[in-house]
Amino acid sequence: LSDHSDNDDNVTSNRVQVRGARVHNLKNVDVDLPRNALVVFTGISGSGKSSLAFGTLFAESQRRYLDSVSPYARRLIDQVDEPDVDAIEGLPPAVALQQQRGTPSVRSSVGSVTTISNGLRMLYSRAGEYPEGQEMLYADAFSPNTPDGACPTCSGIGRVFEVTEALLVPDNTKTIRERAIAAWPPAWQGQNLSRILTTLGYDIDKPWHTLSKKTRDWILFTDETPTVPVYPEYNIEQTRAAIEDGEKPNYMGTFTSAKRFILHSFATTQSSRTKKRVSQFMQISECPECHGKKLKRESLSVKFAGLDIGELSQLTLTELALKLEKTAHTKLDNETPNREKAIVAQRITSDILSRVEALTKLGLGYLSLERTTPTLSPGELQRLRLATQIRSQLFGVVYVLDEPSAGLHPADTQALLAALDELIAAGNSVFVVEHDVSVIRHADWVVDVGPKAGTHGGQIVYSGPVEGLRNVAQSHTGQYLFADTANGQPRSNTRQPAAWLKLADIKRNNITGLDAEFPLGVMTSVTGVSGSGKSSLVSQALVELINEALGQKITEDAPIDESDLLEQELDSVTSGEIIAGMEYVRRLININQKAIGRTPRSNLATYTGLFDDVRKLFAATKQAKAHGFDAGRFSFNTAKGRCPNCEGLGFVSVELLFLPSVYAPCQVCHGKRYDDETLAITYRDKNIAEVLNLTVEAAHEFFSDEAPILRALEALLQVGLGYLRLGQPATELSGGEAQRIKLATELQRTQRGDTLYILDEPTTGLHPADVSMLMAQLNGLVDAGNTVIMVEHDMQVASNSDWVMDMGPGAGDAGGSIVAQGTPEDVAQSKTSRTAPFLLV
């Protein structure tokens, strides 16, 4: 790759010129893109849009940047991600606003992502109202993450772990010998503790509730750890006598209270099983000192607009803006008391206010600063970052975005477009990968990649102004963009509900005492502006209430850790009840956008179970039998056959000073994950690493006579995932892809009927052409006697559902109600529904 610096770029051309791009499936393509414009990359899933926008343009910009800052980093990045392209000219520095893939590794809050929290700390430090006689505090004292600010009781977490007697001793009629203290370790260790208590003079054969409070408290909660002689066979008197006689004990034992044992095990164990076990005995509650505000007392005594910084951070951004406006817009003159302080307050509040307004304009006014990022959807997070960028006032850069319309109601899309226009007006370029028709229509330039996915795509079908797409017969995008009805196909006859599932008095987040009825045996879309309460109603309340009614536990397969528990919402539990219809629901399948695994060890092949069959095929080859290799040998998760250097991951993490750590391919196996002996075994001329590298589509041909594998692959093809590689790590998959893998896994199971499927915006990441395919699958489920309920913004989907439930009218406190419900035709008539004008009926 030759270097083309921007200096010799012909400025008058004002173009980004890509020559010979071959990243992933791109077929040596050339394309010219205007700068200072909104360029939208379109095409069906897997066609190569991201490979061009992120894999080529953004990656090359990043490579040049790293090259300029650190030759050392450059060497590492070379191994990682140098895009395969002959030349790119006129490329400005790029900033990517990509949606988070997999599970976010860093926990932060709305305030920290947007840096608004920094501003607030400054405000409280410099312009806060201090109690009489209190010294001014530094800004750091308003951050729970500094020793200067953290509440000493909870170390700035806002919550404390507690163990209570009721948790530790669930049945107080039992004796200690009968293991009244359920929290004690099992087997010998527990026995050991009761023997020690005997030595200490406690009667282990009395029912727990007959012991004195002082005794019970000491046994459960003491921090003392006495070491005493142990005589396993003796009772209290015999032990006392033995000690007096100086009899040699069997051993010396050290006592640990149940509380110490639980907290210590939880903090130190590596085993998620132990962690789960001990966490049943802990309870998390609000810190009694700071009441969850995380800060020390002095910091909380400083007020602005009558509120401490914790209270201010709990306001929604819309409410916060109102508080700030007063100060930001006060007229100051020579008469103003405390003029200097007032000037500082005005300057800081104006700055914060403009940041907050950038967020509210993007429809995020319902969020609070303290809201943690793991509770946000990927689309909300991306819009947070976008708003932050708008305020950063960079110019001359290209922003590369990934489906910014995800999670946005059509009524909110205009605000998004206005934000993008603002970036362009400030002298930047904006490149977006997008499916939403209204965003595509707004583009200055469209690059349509395709015509199909994977090896059948990777070409530039069209590059030019939107209008030109009209005449490109080959383009799937053009067909949808200019079709008379946006979906191009009439809705089949509305199905009639078989029964109704009735919920009463639901409370969750912004939903306060709602009654809702969902039709069974049909397809329902729940719509509404973002923040109106769709997820609260469907993905949270409905799922939890049904699980409870079915006696299913919500099982999370990912291991829990301390921070997970601490961040669980204390008070955000669902209340409400199901009053009718449960007899028609036998099973609930919640197909959400959570990652299918937290580590690169999970992938499509392992999740769907098809890899088990693949490994059996390898183990059954003559070669494998001759070496005595069983199916386990072909797993990269067990030590037998995997590369010992990277332990089957295929890459190793490289720490860079001042830069996020990067993953570099393993030097030993070069990303193949297995050792040489295992790789020497082939099935139909491919080794196991080569098979993992096949796309679903290629694998479908390769395994054409292996029925069980084919069934899984066909289900994946049916949801439009033919372009994914079997071994693509879970951490690289988008939320939408993870959701479709779950759906495919469900589709390959035998349908029993009476199942309720709940989906969360299943069209995320899907081109309209793929949406039709998804709808066909969902309709199949309904026709087989099941129910589908989904949260959805795509009007093609909502308009083709049997039933629409529209939430709103606004977001946050202004939402939480059902504004309209009925067939799409009925809802389209509603005068109050903000969804009505967009329904395609």
Residues that bind ligand ADP (CB under 6 A): 24-25, 43, 45-51, 366-367, 375, 433, 454, 509-510, 528, 530-536, 569, 572, 695, 723-725, 807, 812
Instruction: Supply the minimum distance, in Å, between the C-beta of residue 404 and ligand ADP.
Output: 14
Name which of 264, 753, 239 is nearest 499 in CA terms.
753
667 sits near Zn ion (criterion: CB under 5 A)? no
Q: Identify what 643 binds: Zn ion, ligand ADP, none; CB under 5 to 8 Å per kind.
A: Zn ion
Q: Which residues pair with 401 in a beta bridge?
A: 97, 432
Nearest residue (CB) to Zn ion, 655 versus 701: 655
709 sits near Zn ion (criterion: CB under 5 A)? no
Nearest residue (CB) to Zn ion, 16 versus 287: 287
Q: Which residues pair with 319 in a beta bridge?
A: none
Q: Which of residues 371-430 bind Zn ion (CB under 5 A)?
A: none
Residue 635 DSSP SS3: coil
Nearest residue (CB) to Zn ion, 287 versus 681: 287
Nearest residue (CB) to Zn ion, 280 versus 667: 667
Q: Which of residues 147-186 bind Zn ion (CB under 5 A)?
A: 151, 153-154
Residue 362 DSSP SS3: coil
Instruction: Supply the minimum distance, in Å, between the C-beta of residue 640 and Zn ion.
Output: 14
Q: Hey, what are 727's tokens?
A: 């071994």
Q: Identify what 49 binds: Zn ion, ligand ADP, none; CB under 5 to 8 Å per kind.
A: ligand ADP
Sort residue 338 into left (φ over 0), alpha (ψ -120 to 50) or beta. left
Angle between helix axes 378-392 and 339-361 (nearest 10 degrees) is 130
Can you tell me which of 91, 522, 541, 666 binds Zn ion, judged by CB under 5 A?
Answer: 666
Nearest residue (CB) to Zn ion, 423 versus 688: 688
Instruction: Supply the minimum distance, in Å, between the C-beta of residue 501 and ligand ADP.
Output: 19
Instruction: Supply the minimum distance, in Å, between the C-beta of residue 650 and Zn ion.
Output: 6
Half-sphere exposure of 468 (CA within 13 A, CB side): 11
End-to-end CA distance of the chain: 52
Q: Is residue 683 classed exposed, middle or buried when 0-12, 13-18 and 19+ CB atoms within 10 A define those classes? A: buried
Q: Hey, what are 393's tokens?
A: 């006032």
- Binding track, positions 256-295, relative to Zn ion; x by CB under 5 A: -------------------------------x-xx-----
Listed in sequence order, the DSSP H helices in 732-767 are 735-747
Q: Identify what 568 binds: Zn ion, ligand ADP, none; CB under 5 to 8 Å per kind.
A: none
Q: Identify what 793 binds: Zn ion, ligand ADP, none; CB under 5 to 8 Å per kind.
A: none
Instruction: Supply the minimum distance, in Å, between the C-beta of residue 702 and Zn ion.
Output: 24
Q: Which residues contact 768 (CB under 8 A, 6 or more apart)?
A: 435, 437, 476, 477, 480, 486, 487, 796
688 sits near Zn ion (criterion: CB under 5 A)? no
Instruction: Supply the minimum distance, in Å, between the C-beta of residue 10 and ligand ADP.
Output: 29
**What is the C-alpha to C-alpha distance for residues 315 and 607, in angstroms, rounded to an integer?**
41
Helices vs. strands in the chain: H and E counts, helices first: 33, 26
Instruction: Supply the minimum distance, in Å, between the C-beta of residue 368 and ligand ADP.
Output: 7
Nearest residue (CB) to Zn ion, 324 versus 643: 643
Nearest residue (CB) to ligand ADP, 139 versus 692: 692
Residue 308 DSSP SS3: coil
645 sits near Zn ion (criterion: CB under 5 A)? yes
Instruction: Supply the minimum distance, in Å, between the C-beta of residue 615 and ligand ADP.
Output: 22
3-state secondary structure 377-442: CHHHHHHHHHHHHHHHCCCCCEEEEECCCCCCCHHHHHHHHHHHHHHHHCCCEEEEECCCHHHHHH
Instruction: Supply the minimum distance, in Å, between the C-beta of residue 133 and ligand ADP.
Output: 37
Give the total of residues touching Zn ion (CB under 5 A).
12
Instruction: Supply the minimum distance, in Å, between the C-beta of residue 607 and ligand ADP.
Output: 16
Instruction: Supply the minimum distance, in Å, between the C-beta of residue 664 and Zn ion.
Output: 11
Instruction: Supply the minimum distance, in Å, between the C-beta of residue 531 and ligand ADP.
Output: 4
Can you tell me which of 668, 773, 840, 841 binds Zn ion, judged by CB under 5 A?
Answer: 668
- Binding track, positions 296-325, relative to Zn ion; x by CB under 5 A: ------------------------------
Q: Identify what 43 binds: Zn ion, ligand ADP, none; CB under 5 to 8 Å per kind.
A: ligand ADP
Nearest residue (CB) to ligand ADP, 50 versus 830: 50
Q: For strand 587-591 and strand 755-760, is the pairing parallel, antiparallel, or unpaired?
A: parallel
Instruction: Supply the minimum distance, in Å, between the C-beta of residue 148 and Zn ion.
Output: 15
Q: Is residue 556 classed exposed, middle or buried when 0-12, 13-18 and 19+ CB atoms within 10 A define those classes? A: exposed
Q: Identify what 366 binds: Zn ion, ligand ADP, none; CB under 5 to 8 Å per kind.
A: ligand ADP
Concatenating the DSSP letter of every residue in 676-716 gives HHHHT-EETTEEHHHHHTSBHHHHHHHTTT-HHHHHHHHHH
Q: Residue 3 to residues 8, 64, 70, 89, 96: CA-CA distances in angstroms?
A: 11, 9, 16, 9, 22
Nearest residue (CB) to Zn ion, 424 versus 668: 668
Nearest residue (CB) to Zn ion, 342 versus 654: 654
Q: Identify what 287 binds: Zn ion, ligand ADP, none; CB under 5 to 8 Å per kind.
A: Zn ion
Q: Identify what 592 binds: ligand ADP, Zn ion, none; CB under 5 to 8 Å per kind.
A: none
Concatenating the DSSP letter of every residue in 556-594 gives --SPP-HHHHHHS-SS---EEEEEE-GGG--EEEEE-SS
664 sits near Zn ion (criterion: CB under 5 A)? no
H-helix or E-strand spanning residue 277: helix 272-279
Name which of 245, 146, 239 is nearest 198 in CA terms.
239
Cα 571 versus chain centre, distance:
21
Nearest residue (CB) to Zn ion, 665 versus 809: 665
Residue type, 183: A
Q: Identify what 666 binds: ligand ADP, Zn ion, none; CB under 5 to 8 Å per kind.
A: Zn ion
Name which of 42, 41, 39, 19 is nearest 30 in CA terms.
19
**What is the C-alpha to C-alpha distance for residues 309 and 332, in angstroms, rounded to an integer?**
25
Instruction: Supply the minimum distance, in Å, between the C-beta of residue 63 and ligand ADP.
Output: 16
Nearest residue (CB) to ligand ADP, 80 versus 87: 80
Q: Identify what 593 binds: ligand ADP, Zn ion, none; CB under 5 to 8 Å per kind.
A: none
**What is the C-alpha to C-alpha distance for residues 300 and 284, in angstroms, rounded to an integer?**
22
Nearest residue (CB) to ligand ADP, 296 versus 793: 793
User: What residue ranges bind Zn ion (CB under 5 A)?
Assistant: 151, 153-154, 287, 289-290, 643, 645-646, 666, 668-669
